[in-house]
Amino acid sequence: VILNDPFLGKRVEEGNFSTVPLKDEFLENARLFIFETYCRIHQRIDMGVLFEKLNLNYEEGERWIVNLIRNSKLDAKIDSETGTVIMEPNQPNVYEQLIDHTKALQGRTYKLVGQLLEPAQAQPAR
């Protein structure tokens, strides 16, 4: 598809070679998008099925997933015996939860004070 696209598939002629500069980057981002979408749905993923969808052979695909895990783009484990990728649950740490709850508490307190002061400000001064 990218080779036929008039904008993304623009060919660059260098001597006897004709290349599409964005092809590799586009394919990598497309693989990553498909993989992220697939991981949101499944907790345990068969690598053979996944690599077929990503258009990778088994060795390339395994190397690709290991690189994702190393670069901290993926929180998962590879089970070599069963040939699956096991996704780790994505839970925020305790400190992030505390900060979020504190922010929410501050906002609710501000609204509550505003509601309490509203009737007092509406009464005319005596």
Per-residue pLDDT, 70: 84
Per-residue pLDDT, 91: 67
Per the CB < 8 A criterion, the answer to whether 51 and 61 are in contact is yes
Q: What is the DSSP pairing of strand 84-87 with strand 44-46?
A: antiparallel
- pLDDT at residue 124 is higher than 80: no
Per-residue pLDDT, 61: 87
Nearest one of 80, 40, 73, 35 to 53, comparing CA atoms: 35
For the chain, the structural domain boundaries read 23-87, 91-125
Per-residue pLDDT, 94: 80
> Residue 60: what residue type?
E
Per-residue pLDDT, 126: 57
User: What pLDDT digit, counting tens, does each position of 2-57 carry?
Assistant: 777 777 666 766 676 666 677 778 888 888 888 888 877 888 889 888 888 888 89
Per-residue pLDDT, 35: 83
User: Mean of the per-residue pLDDT values for the chain?
Assistant: 80
**In sequence order, what DSSP letters do the residues of 77-90 get, joined into one string?**
EEETTTTEEEEPP-
Per the CB < 8 A criterion, the answer to whether 19 and 11 are in contact is yes
Per-residue pLDDT, 40: 78
Q: Was domain 23-87 assigned CATH 1.10.760.10?
A: no
Region 102-107: mean pLDDT is 85
Give the CA distances from residue 106 to residues 17, 60, 110, 118, in Å, rounded to whole numbers and listed in that order: 62, 50, 6, 18
Per-residue pLDDT, 79: 86
Q: Which residues contact 108 (CB under 8 A, 6 or more apart)?
A: none
State the Cα–Cα distance between residues 36 and 40, nearest whole angstrom: 6
Per-residue pLDDT, 18: 62
